[in-house]
Amino acid sequence: MAGRSQPVLAGVVTALVGFASSFTVVLAGLRAVGASDAQAASGLLAVCVASGVSAVWLGLRHRIPMSVAWSTPGAALLVATGAMPGGWPVAVGAFLVSGVLIVAAGLFPALGRAVAAIPRPVAGAMLAGVLLPLCTAPVRALVEVPRLAVPVVLAWLLLHRFARRWAVPGALVVAVAAIALTAPVSGLGGAGLLPAVELTAPAWNVSAMVGLALPLFLVTMAAQNVPGMAVLVGYGYRPPFGAALRATGLTTLLAAPAGGHAVNLAAITAALAAGPDAHPDPDRRWIASVTAGTGLALLGLGAGAATALVALAPPVLIEAVAGLALLGALATALTSALAEPAAREAAVVTFVVTASGVTLVGVGGAFWGLVAGGLMLLLFRHRPAGSGTAESGTAGSGTAGSGAAESGAAESGAGGSVAAGRDSVAVGSSPSGGGAGGT
């Protein structure tokens, strides 16, 4: 009996940890690009259901524990990008384009290889620059709302020391309690607590395509899909990368009109469903990912209540909880960015430009950070001998896929060498889920 219930319990834990650890990031991101509270609640509901549908389909179809989640780094990118000319409809249009690109990467392996060809230090630095504004929010909250923020940060510290998996959910519980004790009860009176879908007609412009759609696709691929594959391969599976991209890309397309920004393979919580704690028998662990998908879809029914509660809190407090959830991802991204001495200058330039939050010709800092870092690598690619930088450590020394092999594999991989057929990938990586991604 215990053997049958073990993967189910692991799936329930995966869903709870995944939702509680980063739903505040999603809400902050959607509101940053122009969503109203109702539209943000709809977006959270959409990505929960889309992630659940993808996880259930992939698990039942392939009998592999392929956990699916929303793109947490993608949501952080929305915060860093902010409102764009054209408002919320343009953001929805960018979500749709990003979904199309994810499907295309599943259909055309060359596109996936192109993403993996982005130098790893530049990709890591761009992600770090995207995450930095949210990761500084706990510090700002301690200064601006200390009565609320101090208990939240203390709870996070204690749980991070003794029960790391529950550190962010625990901090969230303390934040909810603090909000409930200090916010006026009448504030929930007019809030829409029941889930509701708010459809938005998309709009498009060039600045949103370059400044939001393309960076969202790149961040989702490099920081979520690729590390998610690495986790599964580290546990001995050969997951069908192309099928996963097609499934998550299609559900992203379906979720976008309702406000969902991106759906992808889980990177961190993937280990909860794919590891031995889910079940001693690897062939039974897919039950955990299917259960997690079902649980995440059901948790989405609480999107309205979650959004209403968030709306009562000081914005900096919600950003602080989101920032605590992203500190590990920031550390991983910085480690990746600075791992290669020859490319550190380019990585630092990428990080600084991205974190600056500048907007030029309507295009945000994430894109310009990639451009600046790429130009730095090209500029110093053939630096003369004796200048302090070896030629071997430049742009070709590492990729966004953490060193994807140059074997011309049909599917680009993550976290190591790639050996794949048309629809599968084998990645040399530890099962720790060390990607820079979120859930």
- CA 141 – CA 145 distance, rounded (Å): 5
**Which residues neighbour 241 within 8 Å (Cβ) at sequence distance 6 or greater?**
106, 112, 225, 229, 411, 412, 413, 420, 423, 424, 425
The CA–CA distances, whole Å, from 329 to 292, 345, 402 equal 22, 21, 15
Closest CA to 322 of 30, 36, 62, 35: 30
Mean pLDDT of the chain: 81
Stretches where the chain sits below pLDDT 50 are 1, 189-191, 385-397, 401-422, 424-437
**Which residues neighbour 193 within 8 Å (Cβ) at sequence distance 6 or greater?**
304, 305, 308
In residues, how long is the chain?
439
The per-residue pLDDT for 392 is 41
The per-residue pLDDT for 59 is 94
Strand stretches in 123-224, DSSP E = none
Residue type, 57: W
- CA 52 – CA 37 distance, rounded (Å): 23
Residues 345-374 as b/e (b if ≥16 CB within 10 A, e otherwise) read bbbbbbbbbbbebebeeebbbbbbbbebbb
The per-residue pLDDT for 404 is 34
Chain centroid offset of residue 221 CA? 9
The per-residue pLDDT for 436 is 41
The per-residue pLDDT for 192 is 59
- CA 112 – CA 244 distance, rounded (Å): 12
Looking at the DSSP bridge assignments, the partners of residue 328 are: none
User: The whole model's pTM is what?
Assistant: 0.76
